[in-house]
Amino acid sequence: MKKIKRMAAVAAVAVAGPTILTATPAMAADQPAVIVPDVAPKDDATADAGAPTTPVAETPVAEKPAADKPVAEKPVADKPAPVVESPAPTAPAPAPAEQPSKDAKPAADKPQAKSDGIMMGPDVTVAGIPKNGFKPGGDWTQLKVSVDNSGGDWVNGLQPRLSVDKAGGKLKASHYEIETRIVRTDGSSYWWPATALDHETDATSMSDYFIGTVGELDRGASYDLDVRIRFTADAPRIRFDMASDAVSISADGWKYGPSSWYDAKIEGAEDGDEDPFVEGPALAVNGVPETVKAGGDWTHLSVHVDNSGKKALDGFNVGLVLARPDWVPMKSSQVKVEVLSKDKNGKSGWHEAEIRNEEEGVFLGVDLAGGPVADGQSFDIQVRIRLTADAPLGDLRISSWGTSHVGPDTPKPWATSHSKARLTKIVAADPATGDNGNQPKPNGGSKSIVDTTKGTGGELAATGADSATTWALGGAGVALAMGAALVAGTGRRRRTTA
């Protein structure tokens, strides 16, 4: 099996581990120009916003021989090494010191599951892969690579990568060039050849390339990279895979983030099998606060479902994923989730959702609800979460998944969706004040992480006056969909579009 596919399999279980419960490939909801490949890249995205700083020096990399690569716009010898500015996202105001509740476990006592060198972020995705294929002998194709750590903690030694399938040895490194735009601290920029990694040389492996520069990435930060690729006139007319991810390189070794996969081809390639996945309704988790209290009150969230510009679906199941990026296990009994929907008897109201525990408790998957979605429809699913007092303190990553693969007889292609992850922190309730709600800000308010995606249908009122309340509780089809594909490393595969 290809190296990246192996990594994707592990990373898929890590980031989308609950996708075995709520399984779908990723189609992020609130950055369509970057996350969804069939939308043009953002014009206002800057390559230096939040980008790492220091070029790789100590990593075992191998440059490709000059003979393997056509000469094109090589940087002059006196150009400085790639240097770009560090990410500087706005940090949240420091929270007041917390007194742990009598049931809360100290951090030092928290057991940890084995991460196996896996990171839950950042997500690295590519926009701009042409639907009709790369033109052999043509000009550069501009790609936009997004590095999104909105659902992740601080990462050290982060290096984004772009990978190209060798197609069984048919597609060689001499058939293409990859360059990344490096932005200097004064704002000027230049193109620099991507660094080739030749750790595996067999015909079934991927050709991996470092793009951008290596450095730190702050909690919740994100940035874009400009990358370009072109193919020689003698490139084979074939279909092939491309992938993107990021690795963290430190004294502790290499850690791998989730992989994003894409179908690609050279113009003139024969048509292949139909992709079984198409982009589903855009999803976004709204209302996630900066902190939630162990043993506190209900935390109210909503999952926004936006089917604007897409066809109607006879059935679409939505699930919620709660993951621990610190790899501290949680028990299903420590979390309670309710959804505003109909139960099996047709009664509308708040109903408890089933929670499934995966990967030693690092991932909790929740089947929320399912039902039909009209073309262009937009609505919210109301959800509330409560944690027990003995829930382990630390980071909690929340995301949503959806699929139209609601049963074994659902015809292809399946609409699949995935929201951007949101990060919150589980903290102890304050026994001195009796405060057991969300973490207050210094001004007394409770600041939520606001999703900027706006649907056409507006927000669903808490009374449930929307079609989502007619959906049936559960939606077990989310658990049925593509579990095997995830294990095989294809769970985060995306379609190639212009």
pLDDT in tens, 371-386: 899 999 999 999 999 9
pLDDT computed for residue 470 by the predictor: 64
Q: What is the mean pLDDT of residues 140-145?
A: 98
Q: What is the mean pLDDT of residues 124-144?
A: 96
Q: What is the mean pLDDT of residues 17-42?
A: 31
Q: What is the CATH number of domain 32-271?
A: 2.60.40.10
pLDDT computed for residue 143 by the predictor: 98
pLDDT computed for residue 189 by the predictor: 95
pLDDT of residue 71 exceeding 50: no
Instruction: Give residue 5's pLDDT band: very low, low, confident or very high (50, 70, 90).
Output: very low
- Integer Cα distance of 131 and 188 in angstroms: 32
Looking at residue 109, the DSSP 8-state letter turns out to be G
Q: Is 465 helix (H, G, I), strand (E, B) or coil?
A: coil
Q: What is the mean pLDDT of residues 62-73?
A: 40
Domain residue limits, the chain = 32-271, 278-486
Contact 11, 118 (CB under 8 A): yes
- Integer Cα distance of 386 and 334 in angstroms: 8
> Can you say whether residue 29 is alpha, beta or left, with left for phi > 0 and alpha for psi between -120 and 50 degrees?
alpha
- Integer Cα distance of 37 and 126 in angstroms: 7
Q: What is the mean pLDDT of residues 127-142?
A: 96
Looking at residue 407, the DSSP 8-state letter turns out to be S
* Residues ≥6 apart with Cβ < 8 Å to 214: 52, 54, 55, 56, 59, 157, 158, 159, 249
From 28-32, 104-108, 138-142, 471-475, the region with the lowest mean pLDDT: 28-32
From 228-237, 247-256, 273-282, 308-317, the region with the lowest mean pLDDT: 273-282
Nearest Cα residue to 368 out of 321, 335, 405, 404 = 321
Query: Which amino acid appears at position 308 of this protein?
Result: S
pLDDT computed for residue 137 by the predictor: 97
pLDDT of residue 473 exceeding 90: no
> How much of the chain, in percent, has pLDDT values that exceed 90?
39
Same fold for the domain at 32-271 and the one at 278-486?
A: yes
Q: What torsion, rounded to 10 degrees, do the Cα atoms 166, 167, 169, 171 define?
A: -60
* Furthest CA-CA distance within the chain: 74
- The label of the residue with tokens 């706006």 reads 454
Nearest Cα residue to 367 out of 282, 284, 280, 478 = 478
Looking at residue 79, the DSSP 8-state letter turns out to be P
- Integer Cα distance of 96 and 198 in angstroms: 49
Looking at the whole model, is its pTM more than 0.85?
Answer: no
pLDDT digits (tens, 9 = 90+) for 245-261: 999 998 888 889 888 88
From 21-30, 234-243, 361-370, 406-415, the region with the lowest mean pLDDT: 21-30
Q: What is the CATH number of domain 278-486?
A: 2.60.40.1510
Phi first, then psi: give them for residue 285, nearest 5 degrees: -95, 120
DSSP-assigned states of every residue in 197-237: E-S--STTSEEEEE-S-BEEE-TT-EEEEEEEEEE-TT---
pLDDT digits (tens, 9 = 90+) for 444-457: 333 333 333 333 33
Q: What is the mean pLDDT of residues 288-305?
A: 96
**Tokens coding 210:** 């470092």
What are the strands, taking DSSP E only, across 65-170? 123-127, 141-148, 155-165
Nearest Cα residue to 288 out of 419, 469, 116, 113 = 419
- Integer Cα distance of 399 and 365 in angstroms: 10
Alpha-carbon separation of residue 353 from 66, 190, 294 (angstroms): 58, 52, 19
Comparing 408 with 2, which gets the higher pLDDT? 408
pLDDT of residue 442 exceeding 60: no
Q: What is the mean pLDDT of residues 108-115?
A: 54
- The label of the residue with tokens 């992020």 reads 28
Q: What is the mean pLDDT of residues 474-485?
A: 41
- The label of the residue with tokens 């800057």 reads 46
pLDDT computed for residue 184 by the predictor: 92
**What mean pLDDT is reported for the chain?**
72
pLDDT computed for residue 350 by the predictor: 92
Instruction: Give residue 492's pLDDT band: very low, low, confident or very high (50, 70, 90).
Output: very low
**Tokens coding 208:** 């991996």
* Residues ≥6 apart with Cβ < 8 Å to 79: 190, 192
pLDDT of residue 70 exceeding 80: no
